[in-house]
Amino acid sequence: MNIGIFGGGFDPIHNGHLFVAEAVRDDIGLDKVVFVPTRAGAHRGEPVATTHQRATMVRLAIAANPAFAFDESDLRPEATGYTADLLPLLRERYPNDELHFIVGGDSLVRSRWNRLENILAQLRALVVAPRGDVTAAELDLALADLALDLRAKVRMLDLPLVAESATLIRNRLGAERSVRYLVPEPVYRYIEEWKLYR
């Protein structure tokens, strides 16, 4: 099977995440997209919602799509938050499948990826979705030092830009403004029930 791995903080998961996952699944013919929330990302601050709350929101958000699945590998207390450490765990779980890692262009350009060569060696493809104001020139520069065989594994997709971001949603909630229809309805109800991000 061709499996997409979609990692992130998901603090909270929103409709933009779901659109990107479904668009990538459709565009490159994935059999499944596995959402892998991280306990604490190596490149960003501590999440606002707890690990349990974020995992619950992801499960609620993806429940309606049979092609979406959940994986808790990066939520364990010993998880480092580095993709290079996560992939061997996923390889054990999916030993006979082709793994495609889904990433936003902003993450690839704005963060220093630890052991990117090692990550690419473990993947069928690194699938880059457009995000923010990242240009093709910036993406080329971020990949410039890679060997040609590894760079060939990076697939840039032509998808509509998604305006939603977890930061936007947290900011709106912090200002007591509605986020309904920016997040899936079950996630909206969960956020309201637990008064998250206030």
| Residue 152: pLDDT over 90 | yes
Q: Please compute the mean of the pLDDT values over residues 31-60 and round it to a whole number.
A: 90
Phi-psi region of 10 (alpha: psi -120 to 50; beta: other; left: phi over 0): left
What is the overall mean pLDDT for the chain? 93
Q: Would you identify the CATH topology of the domain 2-162?
A: Rossmann fold (3.40.50)
Question: At 67, phi and psi to the nearest 5?
Answer: -90, 0
Domain range annotation of the chain: 2-162
Residues 166 and 11: beta-carbon distance below 8 Å: yes
Residue 162 has a pLDDT of 83
Mean pLDDT of all residues in 140-156: 93
Cis status of the peptide bond prior to 12, with omega within 30 of 0: yes
Cβ neighbors of 155 (< 8 A, separation 6 or more) are 28, 125, 126, 127, 128
- The pLDDT of residue 46 is 85
Q: What is the pLDDT of residue 42?
A: 58
pLDDT at 107 over 90: no
Q: What is the pTM (predicted TM-score) of this model?
A: 0.94
pLDDT of residue 133: 75
Query: Does the pLDDT of residue 44 top 80, yes or no?
Result: no
Can you give the pLDDT at residue 131? 74
Quote the pLDDT of residue 43: 60
